[in-house]
Amino acid sequence: MPWVPRIGQKPGPLLQDYARQIETEHVVVAELDGEIAGILVLSLTHEGFLLDNVAVSPAHQGCGVGRALLVYAEEQARAQGFSAIHLYTHEGMAENLVLYAKLGYVEFDRRFEFGLRRVYMRKVLAPAD
């Protein structure tokens, strides 16, 4: 896990209770050729529609799985009447910050939560066609 040495601890998604999330949140599992390729966790919070987690198996990175999951998340936000979607990532995950910015997310807050330094980003969604 390359993130642990960089941020000094396990990232937030590795600390989640996924059994609970499956029961209480919108969880999507992406599958390719009979293998789990990625996951997506969506939540509704007091701040709006949260893309709580998106992860792609290293074996399937670069195949478009992550992009498809992000598009799905945006579609779900629009379908539920939201005009924006937000997410957070650790401030030490520079690659994530660059990727999300390229996809139209803009930083709106930095918080220290659960021992993690998080950068919150929001994307305003274009209306559905």
pLDDT digits (tens, 9 = 90+) for 28-86: 899 988 999 999 999 999 999 999 999 888 899 888 999 999 999 999 999 999 999 99
pLDDT reported for residue 12: 52
Q: State residue 108 phi and psi, 5-degree precision.
A: -130, -10
Average pLDDT over residues 2-18: 58
Cα–Cα dist 40/101, whole Å? 19
Average pLDDT over residues 8-35: 71
pLDDT at 1 over 60: no
Contacts 24+ apart (CB under 8 A), 1-6: 3/90, 3/92, 3/93, 6/92, 6/93
Cα–Cα dist 36/14, whole Å? 17
Place of tokens 């401030």: 91
Task: Map residue 52 onto helix, strand or coil.
Answer: strand
Does 128 or 74 have the greater pLDDT score?
74
* β-bridge mates for residue 45, sequence order: 48
Cα–Cα dist 91/5, whole Å? 14
Whether this prediction's pTM lies above 0.75 is answered by yes
pLDDT at 127 over 70: yes
Cα–Cα dist 25/77, whole Å? 14
pLDDT reported for residue 80: 95
Average pLDDT over residues 109-125: 93
